[in-house]
Amino acid sequence: MDTSYAGMGQELRIGSLRGQVSEAEWRARVDLAACYRLCDHYGMSDMIATHISARVPDAPDQFLVIAHGLLFHEVTASSLLKVSLDGTVLLAPAFGEGLPDYNLQPAAFVIHSAIYRARPDVMAAMHTHTVAGMAVSALQCGLLPLTQTATRFTSRIAYHDFNGPERDPSEREKLAGHLGGENVMILRNHGLLTVGASMAETFNFMFGLERACQAQLAAMACNTPLRVLPQAVAELSEAAYAPGATRVYGRKEWPGLLRMLDRADPSYRD
């Protein structure tokens, strides 16, 4: 079955890859395609910039990522590239004669291969350039404990300084080192990054981090003193969000998010 989209004045036809991959990989592809659609739905896309990836479950030295040139709302399970950690594209869809070369973006390779090389526990990674995320990334103070949502992250957030667009493979060691064992990172003067043990968890981290950044900017724009949470209260709230303290975030939300996508446009599953 072909999925067709109008793009660049031409029809973008993507043949199904389902018969060419394992069931485990196909499930990962569907979840990743869903995440791209959700990112666009919630206003976190940036045309063809930024990227989300998923490790191939039964081939941990490989990952799935968008073909550079697709908009997030166009992504389907069959439109994703399968890439090795050394940057070799192992499987790519055929996009049709006369269409642009939808290939692997260098920055996507550098960022995502860095994470999967360094963190065997990570199964998905998400990078955004939202206005709120970029703005907080440019603040010397970073993310402040101003809201309950922010306290999910403030004691467990990593920072990575901007050294130019991440196109140099030598940047991978620095990025992975700064992320360490955390699941959330602010790329200073750049944007946001989250990772997780599943696509659902990774998206949930990003959704919460984005909301925390939006709330901080809204509060700072009011031109009145900020009420930063007292340290004892912030620490109490942070402890409530510690890994294992409650539920695994994303697990309950994900089925409902997929139902929402299915009602609107189930073509991400193709």
Q: What is the mean pLDDT of each run of 10 residues along the chain (270 residues)?
A: 49 86 98 98 96 98 96 96 96 75 90 97 98 98 96 95 80 94 97 98 98 98 94 89 81 97 97
Name residue 14's beta-bridge partners: 3
DSSP 68: B
Q: Please report the pLDDT score of residue 149 as a whole number.
A: 96
Is residue 134 situated within a structural domain? yes
Is residue 100 situated within a structural domain? yes
- Going by C-alpha positions, the residue among 243, 110, 122 that lies closest to residue 187 is 110
Question: What does the angle CA 187 – CA 195 – CA 64 come to, to the nearest 5 degrees?
Answer: 105
Q: Say how many domains are in the chain.
A: 1
Q: Please report the pLDDT score of residue 240 as a whole number.
A: 85
What is the pTM (predicted TM-score) of this model? 0.92
d(CA 126, CA 19): 27
Is residue 270 situated within a structural domain? no
Range of the domain at 30: 2-265
Q: Name the 3-class secondary structure at 145.
A: coil
Q: What would the two tokens of residue 255 be?
A: 């089925």
Is residue 239 situated within a structural domain? yes
Q: Please report the pLDDT score of residue 230 as a whole number.
A: 92
Q: Please report the pLDDT score of residue 1 as a whole number.
A: 44
Is residue 43 situated within a structural domain? yes
238 within 8 A of 156, measured Cβ to Cβ: yes
Is residue 67 situated within a structural domain? yes
Is residue 136 situated within a structural domain? yes
CATH of the domain at 183: 3.40.225.10
